[in-house]
A and B are shown apart, each in its own frame.
Chain A
Amino acid sequence: KNEVEQSPQNLTAQEGEFITINCSYSVGISALHWLQQHPGGGIVSLFMLSSGKKKHGRLIATINIQEKHSSLHITASHPRDSAVYICAVPHYGGSQGNLIFGKGTKLSVKP
């Protein structure tokens, strides 16, 4: 079974800073999800990636399949980016099957 570790658990940044959140997993996968949970509780999918890099606005997600590691970057951070960021991978590896979730990284961006 896969195990997921995220770091840091908590992160406080000043507006405009470059943010990096890390996710490591133990069993080889070919699809990783990054999710955002707003302070009100709602969860939205940000990225699903299997290789290389994806970009959406100020968010960039990268994955290194060989090293079993992914990063989520936020450029020019803004207070509205304050949320919990969660990575998730297939529980038994590969690209299919139910997901196992990290405990999340709580980001707070101060104006």
Chain B
Amino acid sequence: NAGVTQTPKFRVLKTGQSMTLLCAQDMNHEYMYWYRQDPGMGLRLIHYSVGEGTTAKGEVPDGYNVSRLKKQNFLLGLESAAPSQTSVYFCASSYYTGNTIYFGEGSWLTVV
């Protein structure tokens, strides 16, 4: 049982480049989330999805886009990377809100 899987685990980007982070879950969860974690700050919600084909903005959505074409996958895109987007990104999923939340292992992104 893989749980929540994120790829890639590490990436270095140049300013202005684009990339996509992939999150996959095999627990048939409805809700999926993308967070970023920065030193001295709690996890902050970027975007989330309450089901296949739906997405919504979280606390810090600027500079990111997401898609959930399949229930098991949630993609996070950076269209034009900026140094301020250097962070650790976590994907998570839960059956519904109010249920246990499961996290991926994180993706370390550096923008130079």
Contacts and interface: CB of A to CB of B under 8 A. Distances in A.
Tell whether A pairs with B.
yes
Interface of A: 4, 31, 33, 35, 40-45, 48, 86, 88, 90, 95-104
A97 B92 CA distance: 14
Contact of B90 (A43, A45, A98, A104): A43
B45 A104 contact: no
Instruction: Classify the interface of chain A: helix, strand, loop or mixed.
Output: strand
A45 B42 contact: no
Interface residues of B, number: 23
Interface stretch (B61-69, B73-81, B95-103): B95-103
Contacts of B101: 33, 45, 88, 99
A86 B108 CA distance: 20
Contacts, number: 53
A45 B100 contact: yes
A4 B42 contact: yes
Contact of A44 (B33, B41, B97, B103): B103
Interface in B36-92: 40-45, 48, 58, 88, 90, 92
A31 B42 contact: no
A42 B48 contact: no
B42 A41 contact: no
B102 A90 contact: no
B42 A103 contact: yes
Contacts of B90: 43
Contacts of A98: 33, 45, 48, 58, 97
A101 B106 contact: no
Contacts of B103: 35, 42-45
Interface string B6-45: 0000000000000000000000000001000000111111
